[in-house]
Amino acid sequence: MSQEQTALAFPTLQGHNFINLTTFRKTGKAVVTPVWFAQENGRVYVYTGAETGKAKRIRNNPQVQLTPSTRTGEPLGPSVDAVARILSREEEPGAKRALDQKYGWQKKLFDLFLKLRKFRHIYLEITPA
């Protein structure tokens, strides 16, 4: 694998602003959610609420699928299998930096809104399965 392929473990996501993050319920039923993401050093990072359904499902089953999509969730390419984990607070700065760089003022505005609402957030790190 080349250095560029290593840096982009999910090349089908390159150039997209949204992905469908598919998580799985205990029953095995898939749940698809369009989210912002940033890809860096062979990993994908996602920002979400600590108590969201996707966070709960990932705590129970780290197997996920990633699909490039529109902001409304319309698929724009093939899905790839991956594994997600919730980053510790100490691990978050790299994920935050990657997302801040990609989304700029939109992410800062989103952060401000969430801070005002006292929204507890987490970062997910997603790697190839």
Distance from C-alpha of 45 to C-alpha of 95, rounded to nearest angstrom: 6
Q: What is the pLDDT of residues 17-27, one digit of tens each?
A: 999 999 999 99
Domain 3-128 maps to which CATH number in 2.30.110.10, 3.30.2020.30, 3.40.50.11690, 3.30.230.10?
2.30.110.10
| pLDDT tens track for 71-120 | 999 999 999 999 999 999 999 999 999 999 999 888 788 777 777 777 78
Using pLDDT thresholds of 50, 70 and 90, give the confidence band for residue 9: confident
Enter the pTM of the model. 0.88
Check residue 7 and give its pLDDT. Answer: 59
Closest CA to 86 of 61, 116, 110: 61
**Torsion over CA: 8, 124, 18, 103 (sign):** negative
Closest CA to 16 of 71, 94, 65: 71
| Listed residue (123, 122, 105) closest to 44, CA to CA | 123
Percentage of the chain modeled with pLDDT above 70: 95
More confident residue, 124 or 115: 124
Query: What count of other Cβ atoms lies within 10 Å of the Cβ of residue 101?
Result: 11
